[in-house]
Chains A and B, each alone.
Chain A
Amino acid sequence: NAGVTQTPKFRVLKTGQSMTLLCAQDMNHEYMYWYRQDPGMGLRLIHYSVGEGTTAKGEVPDGYNVSRLKKQNFLLGLESAAPSQTSVYFCASSNPGLAGFGPGTRLLVL
C-alpha cells in the first residue's frame, strides 16, 4: 500500500513552459486535493475533486488546470509556467475527513 505518491519529485521549468504533475493514490479515496506551499503562507488549496470526473476550484486556482479521469489519479497542469508558480506542491486524498499527503513536488520556474 503506497498511499499517496507524486511524480516528479523535482522539476525546473523555464517561463512559458508547460508541465503536468501526477498524483496517485491506492486507498480508493473519493476526495483528492492539490495544495501549494510557500514560506509563511501555509498550504493553499489550488483545486480539488470530490470524485472521478469532478473538479472544483480552491483558493488559488489561476494558472492551473486539473483532471480526474480515473479515481486513483489527479493531475495538475501548468499551461504556461510563471516564476510566481515556484513552490512546493502537495497532493492529498481523503475519504472523507482525514487527509493523507504525498511527498511533494518541488518546482522551480526560472
Chain B
Amino acid sequence: GENVEQHPSTLSVQEGDSAVIKCTYSDSASNYFPWYKQELGKRPQLIIDIRSNVGEKKDQRIAVTLNKTAKHFSLHITETQPEDSAVYFCAASISGATNKLIFGTGTLLAVQP
C-alpha cells in the first residue's frame, strides 16, 4: 500500500523567511496530493492541493511542487508570518479509485516573530 514520508518533523523559521516541507510517496499510481494545516486543538484544514498532471501550483504565499518521476512533492511558504505556525500534513491518494488519503507524519512549523 501507499506510504508517505514527510520531513522535517519540526521546522523553526524567522518571520519573513521561507519554509519548505518535503514529502515522498511510494505508490506510483497516486495522483492527488493535498496539504493540510492543523492548528492546536482543531481539525486539519486543506490549504492547497495538486494533481499529477500539474508540476506546480501557487496560491498567494503558498506553493506546491510535484516531481512524479522522483515521487516527491513539497510545500513552500514564503514571507512566513506568526499565524503560519501550525502542524502541516502532506497526503497522497489515488483519486477516482478508493480515494483514501494516506498522510505523512506531520511537520510542526514555528514562525518566530
Contact = CB atoms under 8 A, between A and B. Distances in A.
Tell me, yes or no, whether A binds B: yes
Contacts of B113: none
Interface of A: 31, 33, 35, 40-45, 48, 50, 56, 58-59, 90, 92, 94, 96-104
B43 A101 contact: yes
A74 to B, nearest CB: 13
A33 B101 contact: yes
B103 A43 contact: yes
B100 A97 contact: no
B36 to A, nearest CB: 8
Interface in B70-113: 89, 91, 93, 95-96, 98-106
Given A42-B104, A97-B93, 20 more contacts: A33-B100, A40-B106, A42-B105, A43-B103, A45-B100, A45-B102, A48-B98, A50-B98, A50-B99, A56-B98, A58-B100, A59-B1, A94-B99, A97-B32, A97-B49, A97-B95, A98-B34, A98-B46, A101-B45, A103-B43
B44 interface: yes
A96 B89 contact: no
Contacts of B34: 97-99
Given A97-B49, A97-B93, A103-B43, A31 B103 contact: no
A36 to B, nearest CB: 11
B43 A96 contact: no
Contacts of B102: 45, 59
11 contacts: A42-B89, A43-B89, A48-B98, A50-B98, A56-B98, A59-B1, A96-B95, A98-B46, A98-B49, A103-B42, A103-B43
B89 A48 contact: no
Contacts of B46: 98-100
A43 B44 contact: yes
B96 A92 contact: no
A94 B36 CA distance: 14
Contacts of A98: 34, 46, 49
A93 B91 CA distance: 15
Nearest to B108: A40
